[in-house]
Structure 1
Amino acid sequence: MPSLLLLAGDGIGPEIMSATKRVIDYLNTKGAGFETTEGLVGGAAFDAVGTPYPQDTVDKAEAADAVLFACVGGPKWDEIKEYEMRPEAGLLGLRKHFELFANIRPAISYPALADASSLKREVVEGLDIVILRELTGGVYFGEPKTITDIGNGQKRAIDTQVYDTYEIERIAKAAFELARARRGKVTSMEKRNVMKSGLLWREVVEQTHKQGYEDVTLDHMLADAGAMQLVRDPKQFDVVVTDNLFGDMLSDIAAQLTGSLGMLPSASLGAVDPKTGRRRALYEPVHGSAPDIAGKGIANPIAMIASLGMALKYSFGMNKEADALDAAIAGALDEGARTADIAAGGPTVDTVGMTDAILKQLDLRL
């Protein structure tokens, strides 16, 4: 049976994961056969067992076919000074442990929400792009990473941007293969004008393109110019591939094009295990833990539910179910279901209401 580890985490995590469990339960009535387990991560894990990254959670993730991850963090844990004890270390630890190097972040503008974007309808209507972010290298993991006292009341902070050839090559290959299944265009973004890692990034992406991917169009763009182009003319892009730091920022820009962070799912994929044939994978919404609305039952569950949809496609080959779930989300929006973040002042439904609307639409399609 296919297995999922559910990590609700902090803030609105338990609420949106509860909504997603309802979808999993529905899919099981249609024969999906999912077995689910649950674990602790982030601040919730720190409170319970003294670490945001418990070994028990790692063991459960090892045993599962894929991980569904909600969100971690919040002001409750802001005073924790040790980097490895902060809630976010739980997520980063999972990414690093399982070498989840390819972060796929689609940005799709649903027709019913084209007016929810801060940009003009004609700029975003029909938008369908993907930000492919390298996830296990770069400045977030590079060493040294320190804050040191240098005397005279001064401190020095150091973060190190590090990339090896193989890290760039494998994310470039993933980008070209993803583009082949879409519109056949990759835009690589870096800062080669001021960063040595940017020079290597472009060189390796170019070399990889020549290794049998010439059928895919390859463009290059400086990351800051790319950020400007994303809000000027986002539909010029198909697949954008970039490093960990720039991918973090550019994908949040892409989120605003869709109207809300609450709309964006993501998939973090590792290499295929040659022994098992299984690809390590973690699926999560792009948004954070939203502590200001946690416990109020009003969070938008769409990004979490859509992350399950990505799991159906990438981990389980359930393309029919994945397409039906995507269509159900669009159908619920077409019927007028809106949580507060996408309501633009109109009538709203709560988390349960949005989930009800999606399940109603899903039942029409399966």
Structure 2
Amino acid sequence: MIKRVTTPAGDPAWLVTDYDLVKTLLADRRLGRGHADPDNAPKFTDAVLLGKPHQATEEEENERHAWMRRMLTPSFSARNMEALRPRVRHLVDGLLDDLVRQPQPADFHEAVSFKLPVVVICELLGVPYEDREKFRRWSEAVGTLNDPRKSQEGAAGLWAYMGELVERKKKEPGDDVITRLIEAAPPGQDETVASLSAGLLFAGHETTVAAIDRGVMLLSLNPGQWDALRADPGTAGDVVEEILRHPSPISAPSEDSGMPRYAMADIDIDGVHIPCGDLVLLGIGQANRDETRFPDPSAFVPRESNPHLSFGHGPRFCIGAPLARIELTELFTALATRFETFGPAVDVAQLTPRAERLVGGVAELPVRWTVA
């Protein structure tokens, strides 16, 4: 289904919700974040993220994206990510050791959900972990959708920090992604490397934090699935895929929203003509609930086939997907192995959603447990 909607910024857009159509357009190189006239382009929000597009033709957009993938693929290959699994497992064990030393209830969001992805992405990129509160503050501001000024100030702080880090890495290189980006980039591309690194830092922890919290909530609301996972922790991978597919249980998914992209050429699809320059919203959440692909889509049930689109599809498939899957799988395997009972200390409906944030999630997640 394709229909006309109005974005939160008040501009017109095309919303695509059918699974097959969304999947097709995710792989269509005529859609991107570039626009020939960005100052007059329709906007999704007034915030920095998903706001004003950058100026680029279809050819320029695809060349830029191909360059970025070439720069990052060696560091984020499935083999290299798999090599991180023992380190991730060690970090999970340490964080859960620290958690059980705390009095109950303890804030799982602060103790584990936030710390695990942050430690991993800091080590991978070469970002000092001791700076986490700085970039946490900036990342939270950048991801705010209802306060453009706050979003812009957060972006300025995060980008400036990354620019300074790039300069330090040029003088004191390390065995990390940012150093390898500096070495691989043509001369004069420091600003591009800093911008790309800032995006990796944001995406590398914000989305995974929200997924961890969501998984804990979903398993608590579906005790039969928790029992099944405890009986066979080897099924954690299937559980993780369902967590990735499923919306948050504390915030209703928007039916008139989606991932914003711009048509960089005229596109005709499903009997609809989308003119070049129009804004297209790819309804990934709606596609993940398409009952033609996911029988009983509202149920939280690990599925034999789970081709969700949460990481995208095609040439723009999320480059960090293997890392996120490793982090989530190792954590939920450990939870099922170490704890007999584990879940929120309050009714899930009482938790505070971060509705103003791009990635959603919760502000706190108090939990109780009994050790197996």
Identify whether the pair has TM-score above 0.5, normalized to the shorter chain. no
Q: Which structure: greater strand fraction?
A: 1
TM bin (shorter chain): under 0.3
TM-score normalised per structure 1 = 0.24
Larger relative contact order (C-alpha < 8 A, sep ≥ 6)?
2
